[in-house]
Structure 1
């Protein structure tokens, strides 16, 4: 086969150096070392913060959507009422004689019929604080009213002083409406030093 020769052109002259020939992109400029360190530090801080926050959420110490707190129901205040239909028993639980009778006079002066207020002595003489006792929740307003009449006292519910017209019946309409005042040591004057010597 005959050898074909072509005329020489610019592609036949190849440089002996192995450098790149033709169009190419320039190399990226080298990043400065402090920029790399700054980005690494920022990434570390972000990852640590995400880890701490995530563990707080996982353990329940932090909630993203806290449950709405229940609003406490307002406590109804009971207004004192002076109800003269209640019988009153006044028990002197102090060593001072005549205290129950004096308290009865105060209650009668406030409007109670004299025959519905019964003074007497308690089985103790060292009751600390005067208290008006009532038997049922609906009696509390009347007990508060009576406490105000006698110059202020504690008010408490108990069935210890509950009186029934017929002891054989259950507690129902036959229950006598009654309040019991137990006079305590807070009602007597403290003894003078000369009296104790």
Structure 2
């Protein structure tokens, strides 16, 4: 076989070790560093996956709706109007609550012949309620409810046919929330 011809590189002294870039060591890739970066990458992917799942399931909203700004509505204040006749129905098992409330209203300025007290056919009415018929009676009903110590106020024409006076009438139905108060008499 023929011998290769000599060139200028043949005269370069041979040094110990490797020569050339393809024989150099891997630059700074330590095993622990690779493991740490793998762990960080896996953690980021897991967190992103959980967050993405929560968004898709609707548990997290990226752009929540703005909370509606609510303007407080003024609360209707009542007016105590003694020109109304008042029918009081005791719908609790305690006797005498209707008479007590009648006396209280008479002491507050109602005429004795415009306040009627009676027992109701029901004995299990939950909450003491003042009923009124027309919209213009609402303020008087709220005033009466406040006067008797707080009661619900509702519009209903159920008791409209029981008005013997022909004038404006409010109906108070005493409920179980006032039961047990029959033995107590208000201080003068």
Normalised to the residue count of structure 1, the TM-score between the two structures is 0.60
CA distance 1:57–1:163, change in 2 (3 Å): same
Q: Distance in 2 between matches of 1:51 and 1:30?
A: 32
Pick from 10, 14, 21 the counterpart of residue 10 of structure 2: 14
Point out where structure 1 has 5 or more consecutive residues left out of the alignment: 1-9, 166-174, 191-197
1:141 positional shift: 2.8
CA distance 1:54–1:125, change in 2 (3 Å): closer
**Equivalenced residues, count:** 167
Q: Distance in 1 between matches of 2:146 and 2:31?
A: 85
SS in 2 for 1:31: coil
1:81 positional shift: 1.4
Pick from 140, 144, 147 the counterpart of residue 145 of structure 2: 147
RMSD over aligned CA atoms reads 4.1
* 1:188 lines up with 2:188 in the alignment: no
1:178 positional shift: 1.1
Q: Distance in 1 between matches of 2:8 and 2:182?
A: 133
What residue in structure 2 maps to residue 121 of structure 1? 118
1:100 positional shift: 4.9
Q: Distance in 2 between matches of 1:59 and 1:162?
A: 54
Alignment check: 8 A CA contact 2:100 2:182 kept: no
Q: Distance in 2 between matches of 1:136 and 1:181?
A: 15
Normalised to the residue count of structure 2, the TM-score between the two structures is 0.62
Point out where structure 2 has 5 or more consecutive residues left out of the alignment: 1-5
1:66 positional shift: 1.3
- Cα shift readout 1:128-183 (whole Å, capped 9, x = no counterpart): 56543222454333123223444554444322111499xxxxxxxxx842101334
SS in 2 for 1:159: coil
